[in-house]
Amino acid sequence: MNIDEITFYDQMLNYQNVLFLGHRNTDPDAVSSAFALAESFGGTVGVADYCGRVASMLVDQLEIEVVYAPDPSDYDFTVVVDTSTQSQLNDLVLGDYCVIDHHSVSQLIDDASFYLHRLAGSTAEIVVDVLKCMNAPIRERTALALMTGIITDTGHFKHATTGSFRAIADLIDLGGVSYSEALDLLASTPQDISMRTTVLESANRANILKLDDWIFAISESDSFGAAVATALTNIGADISFVGTARDGITKVSGRAKRDAIRCGINLGELMRDIGLEYQGSGGGHAGAAGMEVIGTSGAVLNRCVEESSSILKGVSRN
Ligand SMILES: [Mn+2]
């Protein structure tokens, strides 16, 4: 059952000892959403395994208490935030749970007791609406955390909607913080030299395919697949797919530019469908998505190219 913010608030009053859980390799959107909800409703912030680079910085700087790889059975109820597939939760077994998410394709909502799911630039924006409708006070560090979630998930407002800007304005008003404080917080993230090296090396060995006037870039990397895929579209590809294979499991990150999306590409749906074909799962947004499957990287990447080519073939971007 998809519910609205006020119904979510009502429902939450039925539960105590709640776990607010973000996806693996957690980002600022997930950890800040879990943190803000835990502050307002009372409960524990958990992440499926560990925090990513930017989220770690946030947790350190704002002194957010996090339980890593928690066991949901230790809690009466789990609120899964910013997460669309079970594979993003690794092997964690959910009991009674609900979902708050903004991804266009979400598989976890199928078995949820209830869910607050709508398209938005970030989960943090939906959380801001929840806090507003319950008239919860928004503390400075909560506001800062949510702002960094919105800034990073919208690619520094590149994919922002009016709702993203409205949520930032609300956080400035209600949280008593300035936008520059959030930017300062993000600027303190150290530049990871191994990530930059991996991105450059993977871009260097990328396979470039042209279909009519569409450019595909396909590559593999040992890590940082999402960063590599983003970099490939930033330097000119219309669509990028990057495979990371380890122990028989292949992860694929995909990115698509606006033109490709306008012409029918929806990577969230594509990753979901191909994920199922290869005994795994996938999902995400039209322009940014991922999957985790059984099989070799090459076969799965070929399948991604084949599927997106069949959509774009003969379609002019003009
Ligand atoms: Mn998000």
**Digit-coded pLDDT (tens) for 276-301:** 999 999 998 899 899 999 988 999 99
- CA dist., res. 239 & res. 158, Å (int): 17
| Averaged pLDDT for residues 116-124 | 95
30, 22 contact by CB (below 8 A): yes
121 and 167 share one domain? yes
32 and 166 share one domain? yes
Cβ-based neighbours of 58, under 8 Å, separated by 6 or more:
28, 31, 32, 51, 64, 145, 148, 185
Query: 140 pLDDT exceeds 90?
Result: yes
| Averaged pLDDT for residues 19-25 | 97
pLDDT of residue 258: 87
Which of 187, 220, 238 corresponds to the end of one domain?
187
CA of 84 to the centre of ligand 1 (A): 10
pLDDT of residue 157: 94
Residue whose tokens read 């609205």: 4
CA of 137 to the centre of ligand 1 (A): 23
Q: What is the pLDDT of residues 26-56, one digit of tens each?
A: 999 999 999 999 999 999 999 999 999 899 9
CA of 153 to the centre of ligand 1 (A): 6
Task: Indicate the burial class of 161 (C-beta count within 10 angstroms; 0-12, 13-18, 19 or more).
Answer: middle
In a domain, 102, yes or no: yes
CA of 167 to the centre of ligand 1 (A): 14
- CA dist., res. 170 & res. 35, Å (int): 17
Domain range for 11 is 5-187
**What residue type is 17 in one-letter code?**
N
CA of 88 to the centre of ligand 1 (A): 12
Q: What's the pTM?
A: 0.73
Q: At what angle do helices 28-41 and 53-61 cross, to 10 degrees?
A: 40
CA of 26 to the centre of ligand 1 (A): 10
Query: 191 pLDDT exceeds 80?
Result: no
Q: What is the pLDDT of residues 195-226, one digit of tens each?
A: 889 999 999 999 999 999 999 999 999 999 99
CA of 295 to the centre of ligand 1 (A): 27
pLDDT of residue 36: 98
pLDDT of residue 8: 95
In a domain, 318, yes or no: no
Q: What value does the mean pLDDT of the chain take? A: 94
CA of 306 to the centre of ligand 1 (A): 28
- CA dist., res. 295 & res. 247, Å (int): 10
Which of 155, 187, 219 corresponds to the end of one domain?
187
CA of 117 to the centre of ligand 1 (A): 12
